Homo-oligomer: A and B are copies of this chain.
C-alpha cells in the first residue's frame, strides 16, 4: 500500500490505482460506473478512493488543458415559462456532447439581475455564455451612455457570448432569433383573410426585442390591408399569465370588443384562453368570443374553446442552435470572424378552425 499524497493536494488517478493495486484503467472504469470490472476490484478501488479522498476532476479532463472551467453560463428571463425549460434542455444537450455543463440563472426580465448574473458567471470562469437578454429601455442604449452594457465586450473580456431569442442594440454577438416579424405577419394575415377587421393585440413588454418585432409584423399585415392598429385594442407589456388574463378581460369588456386577437407569446395566449374559458363557464359576455392566433406552441393548446392557430417553433432547437454557435467560438470550433445572426423559421399550425 502506498502512502497518501501530501495534504492539500488532490490525489491522482495513478495514486488511487497504486493503493488499490489495480491499473489506472480499472480505476477509470470503476468511477465511470463499473461496467466490465470485477466486483472485488471495484470494492478495492472505492476503498482507495475513500481513503485518499480522491475526486475525479472533470475540469482536468476537459478538452482544453489548464484552467478551463468546463462551464457554460446560461441566463434566461423566466424559468417559470415552460418554454425556457425546453430551451435549456437544448443548450444542455449540445453542451454535454462537448463535455461541458451549464450553470443556470434566472433574470426575471430585470436588468440589474442580469448584470449581476453575468458578472457572477464571468467570475466563475465560464467558457462561454448563452443569454436571453432582458428587455432594455431604448434610452439606455445610447452609445455615449457611460455605463455601457453588461453584455459588451468590455464587461465580458474574452468570454464568447451568444444571444438567444433577442438581439441587443450595440452588442455584436452571435445571435439566434426566430422569424418574429414574418410569423406575426402571417398569423395576422390569416385573421384578416378570414374577414376579421377588429383584431386585438396582446403583447409582451415593448422594451423586449421580440415584443417590438412581433408588433411590427402585426402592423405590417394590417397595413397590407389598408388598416392601422386601433390603440384601444392594443394591450402590450404583459409578462405573465395573470397580467395577460387581465388584459384580455379589458379587451372583452369593450363595447365593440374585437372579433379576433393576435397574441405575441404563450404567456399571453394562455392568459387569453383562461379568461375566455372562465367566461364561458360562468356565462359572462361577450356573446361571441374572439378567434386567437398566438406566437409559440404550448401543451394543451388542443383544448381551446375558440378557433386557435399557433405560430409554432421548437424551443429546444433554439437552445441547441445557440449552443452550436457558441461552440464554434470555443477551442476546437471553426472560429468565425464576424458575428452571425441565425433566424429560425416558424410555421403556422391550425389547432382548431
Contacts and interface: CB of A to CB of B under 8 A. Distances in A.
A3 interface: no
A56 B154 contact: no
Interface string A113-155: 0011001111111000000000000000000001110100011
A257 interface: no
A92 interface: yes
A123 B55 contact: yes
A42 interface: yes
B79 A119 contact: no
A317 interface: no
Contact of A299 (B46, B69, B120, B270): B270
Q: Which applies to chain A's interface (DSSP): helix, strand, loop or mixed?
A: helix
A55 B146 contact: no
Interface stretch (A200-208, A226-234, A272-280, A326-334): A272-280
A53 B146 contact: no
B59 A124 contact: yes
Interface string A27-54: 0000111100001101100100110010
A116 B32 contact: yes
Given A146-B34, A147-B34, A300-B270, A105 B92 contact: yes
A78 to B, nearest CB: 9
Contacts of A338: none
B103 A103 contact: yes
Interface of A: 31-34, 39-40, 42-43, 46, 49-50, 53, 55-59, 61, 69-71, 79-82, 84-86, 88-89, 92-93, 96, 101-106, 112, 115-116, 119-125, 146-148, 150, 154-155, 157, 241, 270, 273-274, 277-278, 281, 298-300, 302-305, 316, 352
Given A56-B122, A92-B105, 4 more contacts: A39-B147, A46-B148, A88-B104, A101-B105
